[in-house]
Structures are given as C-alpha cells and as structure tokens.
Copies of this chain bind each other. A is one copy, B any other.
Amino acid sequence: MPASTVGFEAKMDHASLLKKVIEAIKDLLGDCTWDCTNTGMSLQSMDSSHVALVNVMMKSEGFARYKCERNLNMGISLASMAKVLKCAGQEDNVIIKTDGDSSTVTFVFGNDDGDRTAEFELKLMNIDVEHLGIPETDYDCIIKMPSGEFKRLCGDLSQFGDSVAISCTKGEVRFEAQGDIGTGHIRLSKKGSADKPDEEISIELEQPVSLTFALKYLNNFAKATPLSATVRLCMSNNHPLCVEYPMPEVGHIRYYLAPKIEEEAD
C-alpha cells in the first residue's frame, strides 16, 4: 500500500478568497456538496428554504496548483468550513486536500515565510445530490453596477418593505419598495466607465422588464459583495433573476431567484 493516495489537492494563494466565498453562501445553504473535477470546484444547491438557487464556480485556473485525479463529491458543513477559514491569517495561502477514500477534508494554512502552518481536518458528510437545472441563459435585460451600490440599495429599501420592484428601461433602472411607513424609489442612470471602471453602470436591454423580488433574499445575495466590485443583474419578465458576482480569473457566484407574482396589480 502506498504511503498516501491523494485524490484531490488544490492550493490557493489567498485563503481570504475562499473565506469570502463561504461567507457569501453559508447563511443560505447550511450544508452543501462541492463537485471536484478536472476543471475546478463547483457547487449548485437550493437554499435551505428551497426558494433560491446558488451556483459557485471556482475554476482550476484560479488555483496556484490544482490536481484532481478523479471526480469526487465533498459534502461539507459550511458553518464548520467557515469556522476553519476564520483560522486563516489575512495573508495565508491554503491547501485543500482529500483522498477519494477518506471521509475527511484537510485545510492547511501557511504563510510565505513557511514558519507557521495550521492544519484543520473536517469530517465529510453524505448529502443528497439534487441536481436542479439552471434557468435560461438568454436575458431581456442585463444590468451591471457596482456591487456596493446594489448592496446599499437593497439594504436601504428593506427599511420600507419586504419586496422591491425593479423596472428597467433604456437609459435607467428603478428600484421601488413600499410599506407602512412610506415608499422608497431609487433611480440609477447609465454611467460611463471612463475613469473608474468599477463605478460603471451599464444596461443591455432587449426589452423593458418589470419584476418584483423578495428583499430578504437579495440582501443575502449581497453578502457576496466583498468578492467582486461589480454585480450583474440578469432579468427577463416572468423568469428568475440571476445575480452574478464575477470573480475575475477564478469563476463566479450566481444566485437565482424567482420573481413574486403581483396579484394586487391594478
């Protein structure tokens, strides 16, 4: 028997990136299964209330080193994984490894000097794999804006109601919420990317859209804000919204949420 058969081993230069990914999904998912293949680590799961869908992709190119000898599923508690990642130093790199036979995954944090190593082992779990199809890829309207702007407006409008109506026309997008204490309207205009590309607001519009969503979920999605300076809102009337946080060179987090049906429309 060989000393050790490593089925999967991947190294990231910045453990903080993985930490942000976990922080962005742990409240939504609880436990989940990572699919590890040659092309990268990914996960896809309904949230615990079975309303929103979460998709994370971390491509093999996003790692400093990546080896996956055979496809495997790592079922893991995200709360535990978050606890482990809190033990990583700000500048630490991380190695994630498991062999296909073992029932554990190991995280090794190290700094560049190599004078400190911290190693944590988590038990893996078997989780029912519910492979749900991802909604369409063709949208009537795609809005790109600073992720901080999206986080802020969702938070602000939550003061006024549980849901937000998003309506987008050629040059601008409106977000509106109403409730007992009053109403809130936020209007964003297209904005060039001239000097500061991260502040760009762009609207690609095939057709005007008008959709309503539960702010509770959007606020949860906004926990991915530290991962990306920009966010893309992809919408078609009567279809699920896709909120995408691109991780340049690495992959993305995408959240999907079905619109509310407005029965009280007049």
Which A residues form the contact surface with B (CB < 8 A)?
77, 80, 83-84, 86-87, 104, 114-123, 149, 153, 156, 159-160, 181-189, 191, 201
In angstroms, Cα B77 to Cα A201, docked, is 35
Q: Chain A interface secondary structure, helix, strand, loop or mixed?
A: strand
In angstroms, Cα B143 to Cα A257, docked, is 54
Within 8 Å by CB of A182, from B117, B118, B122, B181, lies B122
- Contact at B87–A184, with CB atoms within 8 Å? yes
Q: Report the nearest B residue to A157, measured CB to CB.
A: B87
- Contact at B188–A120, with CB atoms within 8 Å? no
CB distance from A200 to the nearest CB of B (A): 11
CB distance from A143 to the nearest CB of B (A): 14
- Supposing A115-B188, A189-B115, A201-B115 touch, asked if A120 and B83 sit within 8 A by C-beta, the answer is no
List the B side residues contacting A185 at CB < 8 Å: 117-120
- Contact at B184–A118, with CB atoms within 8 Å? yes
In angstroms, Cα B148 to Cα A263, docked, is 54
- Contact at B160–A120, with CB atoms within 8 Å? yes
- Contact at B77–A186, with CB atoms within 8 Å? no
List the B side residues contacting A117 at CB < 8 Å: 185-187
- Contact at B188–A116, with CB atoms within 8 Å? yes
In angstroms, Cα B177 to Cα A98, docked, is 20
- Contact at A182–B116, with CB atoms within 8 Å? no
- Contact at A187–B87, with CB atoms within 8 Å? no
